[in-house]
């Protein structure tokens, strides 16, 4: 049996609970690929899992890591659209914090033309999330407007980049002047939430917005509803500001004919994730290759042995864009 290094955790806690261990290289099932991992993304769900706050779906590996890039080194017997030696990126069900990882073929995508393996590793988790919520489910379209909370996060940057390519006007809340510059370069009106009220700032430009991509949750719920246009949509994908709203005036939702949706990605079925991957391939991948959509922003790449430092960086919340591990 071949062996590999992987990152595990002793118990829930701070980054010190993470450690490197030796494990057996997994064998792909009939619909899976075995990928030699080049880069793995470090994402908020990894932090929550480490803290014991992220319940995993049944049957998935306890090893963290939801996205990667690398080389296909083995194929399940039913995999037809990839070959050994292909360079790919993928949304995993877990397990990307390792030198080798098995991934469903349907959740795997070719590297966009002009992208390095490092750049491609920053795509899956953010692009699957943004595309599924804003465009597959609710079809944000040219001429509409979108408010993105957490605009300098990996998901925020992906949302702003895709929206700009589709002619959607964007506003983004961020926490300092440096982050303001980043979102402005992506075409957004920057709003420093520490010094500005985003409702007031948006109303200096227009009446309201057609969509709100919300990583904050309860802390912004009333303001999100206030700035939403009639027939607008609120996409709840994160709860950094809490998940309990004490009182909600349902009449406001009814009067605005608002649509409120919640979403997670890891618990979706393979079929659902595969459908998102196919839609990305059909509608987004060529735009990435043609530079119609801006590339993701790398904050820092850590050697996988420095995973504790990588998690501390996320914990601080000062990063801009994505953090990666290199294997």
- CATH code (residue 275): 3.90.180.10
156 has a pLDDT exceeding 80? yes
Whether residues 115 and 27 fall in one domain: yes
Q: Both 245 and 135 in a single domain?
A: yes
pLDDT at 216: 82
Same domain, 253 and 290: no
User: What is the pLDDT, as a whole number, of residue 7?
Assistant: 99
Q: Which range marks the domain in which residue 256 is found?
A: 127-262
Cβ neighbours for 98, distance < 8 A, ≥ 6 positions apart: 4, 5, 6, 7, 23, 37, 63, 65, 327
Q: Given the structure tokens 């070959």, which residue do they identify?
A: 83
Statement to judge: residues 176 and 153 lie in one domain:
yes
State the average pLDDT for the chain: 95
pLDDT of residue 241 exceeding 80: no
Residue 39 pLDDT more than 80?
A: yes
Q: Do both 233 and 146 map to the same domain?
A: yes
Mean pLDDT of the region 36-65: 94
Decide if 108 contacts 88 (C-beta within 8 A).
Answer: yes
Average pLDDT over residues 88-92: 99
- From 240, 262, 284, the end of a domain falls on 262
Residue 78: the pLDDT is: 97
Q: What is the pLDDT of residue 240?
A: 75
Pair (95, 107) in one structural domain: yes
Closest CA to 98 of 325, 315, 309, 265: 325
pLDDT (tens digit per residue) in 182-229:
999 999 999 999 999 999 999 999 999 999 999 887 788 889 999 999
pLDDT score, position 199: 95
Q: What is the pLDDT of residues 132-145, one digit of tens each?
A: 999 998 889 999 99
Check whether residue 32 and residue 101 sit in a common domain.
yes
Decide which of 222, 246, 262 is a domain's last residue.
262
253-287 tens-digit pLDDT: 899 999 999 888 888 999 999 999 999 999 999 99
Give the confidence band of 230 by pLDDT, cuts at 50, 70, 90.
Answer: very high
Question: 111 and 20, same structural domain?
Answer: yes
Q: Where are the beta strands (DSSP E) in 25-107?
A: 32-42, 67-75, 87-91, 100-104
End-of-domain residue from the set 220, 245, 262 = 262
Residues 101-111 have pLDDT tens digits of 999 999 999 99
CA distances from 250 to 48, 68, 229, 237 (A): 31, 41, 16, 20
Residues 234 and 272 both lie in one domain: no
Instruction: Give the rounded percent of residues in the chain with a pLDDT score beyond 70.
Output: 99
- Residue 154 is predicted with a pLDDT of 95
- Residue that the structure tokens 């391939």 belong to: 281
- Neighbouring C-alpha atoms within 13 Å toward the C-beta of 87: 13
Please check whether residues 118 and 168 belong to one and the same domain. Answer: no
Kindly state whether residues 176 and 100 are assigned to the same domain: no
Instruction: Verify that 236 and 184 share a domain, yes or no.
Output: yes
pTM (predicted TM-score)? 0.94
d(C-alpha 126, C-alpha 154), whole Å = 6
Q: How confident is the model at residue 33 (pLDDT cuts 50, 70, 90)?
A: very high
| Residue (of 150, 141, 168, 307) closest to 215 by Cα position | 150
Cα separation, 213 vs 159, in Å, equals 8
Which H helix or E strand runs over 251?
helix 250-255
| Mean pLDDT within 30-42 | 99
CATH number assigned to the domain comprising residue 137 = 3.40.50.720
What integer pLDDT is reported at residue 273 of this predicted model? 97
Overall number of domains in the chain: 2
């Amino acid at each position: 049996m071949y062996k590999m290094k992987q990152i595990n955790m002793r118990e829930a806690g701070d980054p010190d609970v993470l450690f490197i261990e030796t494990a057996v290289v997994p064998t792909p099932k009939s619909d899976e690929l075995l990928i030699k991992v080049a880069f793995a993304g470090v994402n908020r769900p990894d932090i929550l899992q480490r803290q014991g706050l992220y319940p995993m779906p049944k049957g998935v590996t306890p090893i963290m890591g939801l996205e990667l890039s690398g080389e296909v080194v083995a194929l399940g017997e039913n995999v037809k659209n990839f070959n050994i030696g292909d360079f790919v990126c993928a949304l995993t069900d877990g397990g990307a914090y390792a030198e080798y990882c098995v991934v469903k073929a349907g959740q795997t995508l070719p590297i966009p033309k002009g992208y390095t393996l490092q750049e491609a590793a920053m795509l899956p988790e953010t692009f699957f999330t943004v595309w599924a919520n804003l465009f597959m489910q609710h079809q944000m379209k040219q001429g509409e407007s979108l408010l993105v909370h957490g605009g300098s996060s990996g998901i925020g940057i992906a949302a702003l980049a895709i929206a700009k390519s589709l002619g959607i006007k964007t506003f983004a809340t961020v926490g300092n002047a440096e982050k303001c510059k980043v979102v402005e370069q992506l075409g957004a009106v920057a709003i420093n939430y520490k010094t500005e009220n985003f409702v007031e700032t948006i109303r200096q430009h227009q009446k309201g917005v057609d969509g709100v991509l919300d990583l904050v949750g309860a802390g912004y719920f009333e303001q999100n509803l206030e700035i939403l246009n009639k027939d607008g949509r609120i996409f709840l994908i994160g709860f950094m500001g809490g998940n309990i709203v004490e009182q909600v005036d349902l009449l406001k939702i009814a009067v605005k004919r608002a649509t409120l949706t919640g979403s997670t990605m890891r618990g979706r079925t393979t079929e659902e994730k595969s459908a998102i991957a196919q839609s990305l391939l059909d509608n987004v991948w060529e735009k990435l290759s043609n530079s119609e959509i801006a590339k993701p922003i790398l904050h820092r790449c850590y050697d996988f042995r420095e995973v504790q430092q990588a998690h501390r960086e996320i914990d601080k919340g000062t990063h801009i864009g994505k953090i990666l591990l290199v294997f």
